[in-house]
């Protein structure tokens, strides 16, 4: 059972003061912890990009406490967006809609659309209601790395760069929100999350999948993202034991994230059994990867997850994390090659 925590009035007052002063506040949502700034203060939002090392073209999500304030941020609310909001808000769904002209480009990555969400976490609601405005908030971590699902993850990674860290316990979902674009051309799923494709289609009918050339850029959509520092590889389920044994045969420390216990004890292997329930696996995913990342291993092997829809968001995060490892290894090889070729 996930522990749901409410903040004291003093904690909320401190966080609101920090936001109004243009400083950063980390706060819990049901998905992951967010790194928040006053969405109407471009100088404050700029600090998010600086602290995270986030590209300026990468938009952020604006969090509000109620759909009744959408008009402050959105130029028009398509009927499909209205239906999805009525069904899934507050909750782990982000909607992309045409932005209100008064929204600063730094929030939208220079696009004509804005990402908006109403979180359900009680502490996020406390903060948003007390602040009385929108909070721009991507995940509270360095860009491209594992999202935080506990307050200590934020403190470990960002330290004094964040003026206030509200501790709301573990995030209930553990993965970033589902992102859906709604406009005159229809509805398009741009990032899978806890709200599944089947659930979306039950509400609005036809939903396209993936980003065409004209689709808006959205958070977490780059091919490489959600990555631990340790190189990560996805391994077929029937090969995970063999690969772990082979990789550790010469004494190298290897980490494994699997859905079952190992067939036997392997030398130099740190093994986490994350189980076969998709919701529990998602809830623990980033915490488990952080644990393995700190285990002093040379590689993390991740057992390939099932192909059915309830694993879509997990599979998306694992594939992007593994792709990031491949890119970093390629860059390291290129650097090594160029150094070797120097006179």
How far apart CA 225 and CA 329 sit, in angstroms, is 14
| pLDDT of residue 134 exceeding 70 | yes
Q: Of 229, 61, 210, whose CA–CA distance to 144 is shortest? A: 229
Q: What is the pLDDT of residues 151-167, one digit of tens each?
A: 999 999 999 999 999 99
Burial class (CB in 10 A: 0-12, 13-18, 19+), 141: buried
* pLDDT tens-digit readout, 271-330: 999 999 999 999 999 999 999 999 999 999 999 999 999 999 999 999 999 998 676 554
pLDDT at 98 over 70: yes
H or E segment to which residue 188 belongs: strand 186-191
Average pLDDT along the chain = 91
- pLDDT score for 219: 77
Domains of the chain from N-terminus onward: 9-209 (3.90.870.10), 232-340 (3.40.50.11030)
Ranges 16-30, 171-185, 253-267, 329-343: which has the least confidence: 329-343
Of the candidates 292, 284, 204, which has an alpha carbon nearest to the alpha carbon of residue 256?
292
Q: How confident is the model at residue 336 (pLDDT cuts 50, 70, 90)?
A: very low
Burial class (CB in 10 A: 0-12, 13-18, 19+), 295: middle
Q: Region 184-201: what's the mean pLDDT?
A: 95
pLDDT at 213: 62
Alpha-carbon distance of 36 to 138, in angstroms, equals: 7
3-state helix, strand, coil in the chain (%, to 5): 40, 20, 45
Sequence-distant (6+) residues with CB within 8 A of 2 are 169, 170, 171, 172, 283
pLDDT tens-digit series, residues 205-243 = 999 998 776 567 777 667 778 899 999 999 999 999 999
Task: Return the number of other C-beta atoms located less than 10 Å from residue 277's C-beta.
Answer: 11
Can you give the pTM of this predicted structure?
0.92
Contact 297, 230 (CB under 8 A): yes
């Amino acid at each position: 059972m996930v522990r749901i925590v409410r903040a004291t009035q003093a904690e909320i007052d401190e966080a609101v003061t920090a936001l109004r002063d243009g400083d950063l506040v980390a706060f819990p949502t049901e998905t992951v912890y967010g790194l928040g700034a006053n969405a109407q203060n471009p100088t404050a939002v700029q600090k998010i990009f600086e602290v995270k090392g986030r590209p300026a073209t990468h938009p952020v999500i604006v969090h509000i406490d109620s759909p009744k304030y959408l008009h402050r941020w959105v130029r028009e609310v398509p009927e499909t967006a209205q239906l999805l909001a009525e069904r899934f808000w507050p909750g782990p769904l982000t909607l992309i809609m045409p932005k209100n002209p008064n929204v600063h480009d730094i929030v939208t990555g220079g696009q004509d659309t804005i990402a908006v969400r109403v979180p359900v976490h009680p502490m996020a609601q406390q903060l948003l209601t007390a602040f009385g405005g929108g909070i721009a908030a991507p995940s509270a971590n360095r860009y491209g790395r594992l999202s935080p699902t506990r307050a200590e993850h934020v403190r470990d990674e960002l330290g004094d760069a964040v003026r206030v860290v509200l501790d709301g316990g573990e995030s209930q979902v553990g993965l970033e929100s589902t992102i859906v674009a709604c406009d005159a051309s229809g509805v398009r799923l741009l990032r899978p999350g806890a709200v599944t494709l089947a659930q979306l289609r039950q509400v609005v009918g036809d939903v396209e999948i993936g980003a065409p050339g004209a689709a808006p850029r959205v958070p977490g959509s780059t091919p490489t993202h959600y990555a631990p520092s340790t190189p990560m590889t996805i391994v077929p389920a029937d090969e995970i034991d063999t690969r772990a044994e082979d990789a550790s045969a010469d004494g190298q420390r290897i980490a494994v994230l699997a859905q079952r216990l190992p067939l036997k004890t392997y030398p130099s292997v740190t093994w986490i059994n994350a189980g076969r329930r998709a919701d529990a696996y998602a809830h623990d995913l980033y915490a488990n990867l952080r644990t393995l990342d700190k285990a002093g291993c040379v590689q993390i092997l991740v057992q390939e997850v099932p192909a059915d829809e309830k694993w879509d968001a997990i599979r998306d995060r694992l594939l992007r994390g593994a792709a990031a490892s491949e890119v970093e290894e390629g860059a390291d090889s290129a650097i090594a090659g160029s150094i070797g070729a120097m006179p």
